């Protein structure tokens, strides 16, 4: 009995939440998120297994393309990746929250000199002349679905699948529209290897420098926190994931809000409280000076500008802070693994 208790105690002590963090364009913002959530991460510039000040979390840095699949398979309990890669892989994961950083657009781009109006125009002009349409991309599944939804494609080929070509396999029957898997530097492929590309872009500058013009935006993408549905059935992991979600939500929410402190005379207190938004209600304290009160509350940054004229009239000594971490601890997302 004693041995069984000791074994269970050791097993509990060894519990780790496996957390996959993205390398590349999302990397710097992800580690900033961790820092603002009060996690201290060390060694991320030297190793793919950085250390963290929470002994119950084990980190691994991976490419964002890989993370959805690894999380879906249960190799990691939690991960951060772009919604574009979640959709591209079709990974069966639980999306916990939009982290609201790393915004990119997934776009179709083609050589500027061709002056195509959109993708339908590109396909019509090439197919009508008996020419194939070649597209280079890392997003072969999103591109395949996108093309099948275009009016010109449906008119020429109906429900036929575009041909997808990779070093390992070829799938699809329509060899007039061919999707080539790209391993990077996709913007360099036209015009020799491709007539158009599907790629993500933050500013469009790289496309412009390579003489490409955006024809259409397929979708917008930001970083998302995802969990393994299997992990959410484990009570310990579920609670640990909720803790992380609460901290990350605090970071995201705090970036949109300000904490204000001000003094107000009792004659103006009622009117001031009637206009001040807050998480629950403003905090009010008496000052040493008779008839004066200190008021503090949290509000959205956008609300501050509209309130300023009335705050100047009603109050004195306004101080504004940007909170690092604002935890409401309410209205947590559902962690059901559907």
pLDDT at 159: 94
Residue 300's φ and ψ, nearest 5 degrees, are -65, 145
Q: Which CATH architecture has domain 257-321?
A: 2-Layer Sandwich (3.30)
DSSP string covering 205-247, please? HHHHHTTEEEEEEEEEE-EEEEE-TTGGGSHHHHHHHHHHHHH
The whole-model pTM stands at 0.86
Q: Which residues of the chain form CATH 3.40.190.10? A: 2-102+223-254, 105-220
Question: H or E element: which one contains 139?
Answer: none
Strands 174-181 and 162-165: parallel
Residue 114's φ and ψ, nearest 5 degrees, are -75, -20
Q: Which residues of the chain have pLDDT under 50?
A: 1, 5-11, 337
CATH number for the region 2-102+223-254 comes to: 3.40.190.10
Which listed CATH number (3.40.50.720, 3.40.50.1000, 3.30.70.2520, 3.40.190.10) goes with 105-220?
A: 3.40.190.10
pLDDT at 2: 57
* Residue 26: closest CA among 228, 221, 216, 182: 221
pLDDT at 336: 65
pLDDT at 9: 45
Supply 26's token pair: 């999302």
Q: Which residues of the chain form CATH 3.30.70.120? A: 257-321
């Amino acid at each position: 009995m004693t041995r069984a208790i000791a074994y269970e105690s050791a097993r509990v002590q060894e519990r780790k939440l496996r957390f996959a963090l993205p390398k590349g364009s999302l990397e710097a913002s992800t580690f900033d998120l961790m820092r603002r959530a009060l996690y201290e991460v060390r060694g991320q510039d030297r190793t793919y297994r950085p250390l963290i000040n929470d002994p119950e979390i084990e980190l691994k840095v991976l490419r964002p393309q890989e993370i959805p699949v690894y999380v879906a398979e249960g190799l990691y309990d939690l991960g951060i990746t772009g919604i574009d890669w979640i959709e591209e892989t079709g990974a069966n994961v639980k999306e916990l929250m939009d982290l609201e950083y790393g915004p990119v657009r997934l776009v179709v781009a083609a050589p500027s000199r061709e002056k195509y109006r959109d993708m339908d125009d590109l396909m019509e002009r090439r197919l009508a002349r008996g020419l194939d349409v070649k597209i280079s991309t890392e997003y072969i599944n999103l591109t395949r679905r996108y093309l099948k939804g275009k009016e010109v494609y449906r008119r020429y080929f109906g429900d036929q699948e575009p041909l997808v070509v990779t070093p390992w396999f070829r799938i699809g029957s329509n060899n007039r529209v061919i999707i080539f898997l790209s391993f990077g530097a996709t913007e360099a492929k036209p015009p020799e290897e491709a007539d158009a590309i599907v790629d993500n872009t933050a500013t469009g500058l790289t496309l412009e420098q390579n003489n490409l013009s955006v024809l259409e935006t397929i979708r917008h993408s930001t970083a998302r926190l995802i969990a393994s549905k299997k992990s959410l059935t484990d009570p310990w992991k579920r609670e640990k994931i909720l803790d992380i979600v609460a901290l990350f939500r605090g970071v995201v929410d705090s970036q949109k809000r300000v904490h204000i402190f001000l003094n107000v005379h009792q004659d103006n207190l009622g009117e001031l409280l009637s206009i001040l938004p807050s998480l629950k209600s403003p905090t009010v304290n008496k000052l040493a000076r008779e008839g004066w009160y200190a008021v503090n509350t949290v509000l959205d940054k956008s609300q501050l500008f509209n309130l300023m004229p009335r705050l100047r009239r009603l109050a004195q000594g306004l101080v504004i802070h940007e909170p690092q971490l604002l935890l409401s601890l309410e209205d947590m997302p559902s962690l059901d693994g559907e």
